[in-house]
Chains A and B, each alone.
Chain A
Amino acid sequence: MNAKEVVRVENLGVAYEHEVVLRDISFSVRENEIFIIVGGSGSGKTSLMRHMVGLEAPASGKVYIRETDIADAPEESFYRSLKQIGVLFQGSALLGSMTVAENVSLPIFEYANLPASAVASIVQIKLSMVGLECYADHLPSEISGGMKKRAGLARALALNPDILFLDEPSAGLDPVIAAEIDNLILHINQSLGTTIIIVTHDLDSIFALGQRAIMLDKSSKGIIAHGKPADLRDHDPNPVVRRFFSRKPPEA
């Protein structure tokens, strides 16, 4: 693996039961970049992300997080790889029986080896980063969908992971908060050098953040475009890609 590549996907095939979702996917994500995975609904974006974080085993091909083959790694190096990554799930996946602060503190208590007062301070810092410091003692069921998303992001950031996977980080957020979250993502990327992989179809976020993007396509079950978002919008030979990035419906 090239020294600068932190995630590499090689000829990945994704299939459920007898249905093939993705076929022969290959790309790599470089250190310290913001990488975007786009595609229409049902194109397999979330499935691809789930394979990249080792939640599902590939039908074929390999996924490497740094040097570790995530699907085939021995238990010890698999868990070591997991500590390097943070994941924000599409539905936030907060634990319903714990408050927002407890959700964020969970990985910190487990892995950071800090006293309780220090954990509380770091939770406070993380929550104020996402603008939720006033909701620390609320249960997930007591806050809105957008707040859940931000709490999920705070939890994904809890251990300052090297690689951050974000599934639809701005979906369900109002435009102002969405822009704030985009700024935060940029900030984390720049100040902590975190590599960030975002699954999204929010064009504002794609153009504000994305240094490189790939586009998945449902009919070909593969990558139909690869490059800088602005270049894809303006110069991609495939009209489907240009339309997607410029938000135009297919011509009649």
Chain B
Amino acid sequence: MQKADHERDMHMNPVSGPQNEYFDLREDAEGTLTVFFRGRLDMPNAGACLRHLTSEVKPRTPRRLAVDLGRVTRMDDYGAMVIMRLMHRLGLTHDRLELKNTSEDHRRTLSMIDFGQPEFDIGPRKSWNFIVQLGDSTIAALRGAAFFTEFIGAIVYSALRVAKRPGSFRINDAIGHMKTTGVDALPVVGLISLLLGLIIAFMSSLQLSQFGANLYVASLVGLAMVSELGPIMTAIIVSGRSGSAYAAEISTMKITEEIDALSVMGFDPNLFLVMPRMIAAMVVVPLLTVFSSIFAIAGGLIIGVTVLDLSPTAYISQTIDSLTLFELTWGLSKSVIFAIIIALTGCLRGFQARGGASAVGNAATSAVVTSIFLIILFDSIFAVIRSFW
């Protein structure tokens, strides 16, 4: 019956318009555009069909759209999408759309489609409005500050709990972190410091040798490393190796609800996760700083002996003479502060993470950037304090 209707339609109103394998067009005097689709109106054909259709309907402004599916052998939702796009292209609403000669199969597919939905766009989520962006950033910064304050408070509280009840401290976890943060970092800290010592010694000798003051290369390397470069280089290396690892580990735990699981089991996540890392860092970063200074002095010694013709004894005794207990203590105190900065920013960024896999990467990156910035900032503050000492 439907087929007969279709044949009659086609006979009474001769088809005009394009000749292609996907459809024919006819526009009548009342302003109804009828599209006679044929063959397969499905995923493989949708793209080509839509391209033909778009170029054909461009000059037309019909008042109604009729779609004849009588000669469509297979139709899926991509076919329905073609009809939907056509409707939107012509600026028509779904009440001006008529579907003709639909088979049982077509109707089954069409029942899944709502032609009345507004046009959809996969656009950017964020508003590009400057005021909105400024507002969003301000809110995010304030939230970050609130979170930071709360976090520091919670850490101080956990530290007091540990001081009151040392048994609650997870010593085995701390020892594990000491190994990964300290022992495992020794080769890289040693190598970088040795090279740094070589460079400082070599570069300074270029100037000092002009005055016959080669021996002072030893003082320069010793002082620079012990009070300044040793703590800062070690802190930067540990921040890159372990601060990022702390952030990645804790943010993964946050995303996979492991931290929530700890909380509902009655564990304090700060006591469980932050304190062992912080104590471990506070122990091993000063030790690594000592190693760093020793390796750098060894680097300087190599240049002193091989390039500057100094004797090892003279070089070492000059180094010892130039260093004071104050310098050593100053360097080590700074490294303890840097250790706290590294552990706290690593853990803070981990706890702040929200979302999926990308949040872990962002947490690690942000932990390293923040801690290096804070390390340099605090080092400057120490320098200012020392100038007034």
Contact = CB atoms under 8 A, between A and B. Distances in A.
Interface string A93-129: 0011101011001000000111111111111111011
Interface in A160-215: 160, 187, 190-192
Interface in B92-135: 105, 108-109, 111-114, 117, 119-123, 125
Interface residues of B, number: 35
A124 B117 contact: yes
Which of A99, A129, A133, A192 has the most CB atoms of chain B within a 10 A radius of its CB? A192
A160 B50 contact: no
Contact of A141 (B47, B105, B109, B355): B355
Contacts of B117: 124, 128, 133
Contacts of B82: 118
Interface in B45-81: 46-47, 50, 76-78, 80-81
A136 interface: yes
A191 B42 contact: no
Nearest to B75: A191
Contacts of B105: 191
Nearest to A124: B120
A118 B122 contact: no
Contacts of A22: none
B358 to A, nearest CB: 4
* Chain A interface category by residue count: 35 or more
Nearest to B48: A113
B77 A122 contact: yes
A159 B356 CA distance: 25
B47 A112 contact: yes
A232 to B, nearest CB: 29
A240 interface: no
A154 B104 CA distance: 24
B43 interface: yes
B241 interface: no
A125 B125 contact: no
A125 B358 contact: no
A124 B42 CA distance: 17
B356 A160 contact: no
A160 B355 contact: no
Nearest to B77: A125
Interface of B: 42-43, 46-47, 50, 76-78, 80-82, 84-85, 88, 105, 108-109, 111-114, 117, 119-123, 125, 255, 354-359
22 contacts: A96-B357, A96-B359, A97-B356, A97-B357, A101-B120, A112-B46, A113-B47, A114-B50, A115-B50, A116-B122, A118-B50, A121-B84, A122-B77, A122-B81, A136-B122, A139-B356, A141-B255, A141-B356, A141-B359, A159-B43, A160-B76, A190-B108
